[in-house]
């Protein structure tokens, strides 16, 4: 693998900005799972930015 393959965030942004699939089943458990996944990704990215900010400001 090349270095640029490690920083490919296309799948992360695709998870947030994809179209609604009408064939996908809709129930509370699935909605809750996707909400928790999105929340975890957002929290992770915020933490990465905070860590990078602290590294570069010291």
Interval 2-44: pLDDT, tens: 777 777 777 777 777 777 778 877 889 988 988 998 899 889 9
* Rounded distance between C-alpha atoms, residue 56 and residue 58, angstroms: 6
Distance CA 55, CA 49 (A): 10
Which pLDDT belongs to residue 40? 93
Is residue 14 within 8 Å of 40, Cβ to Cβ?
Answer: no
Q: Which residues contact 24 (CB under 8 A, 6 or more apart)?
A: 30
Predicted confidence at residue 50, as pLDDT, reads 96
DSSP class of residue 23? T
pLDDT reading at 55 higher than 90: yes
The pTM of the whole model exceeds 0.85: no
Reported confidence tier of residue 1, pLDDT bands at 50, 70, 90: low
């Amino acid at each position: 693998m090349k270095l640029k393959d490690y920083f490919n965030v296309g799948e992360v942004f695709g998870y947030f900005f994809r179209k609604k699939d009408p064939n996908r089943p809709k129930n509370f458990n699935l909605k809750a799972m996707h909400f928790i996944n999105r929340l975890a990704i957002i929290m992770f990215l915020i933490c990465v930015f905070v860590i990078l900010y602290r590294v570069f400001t010291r």
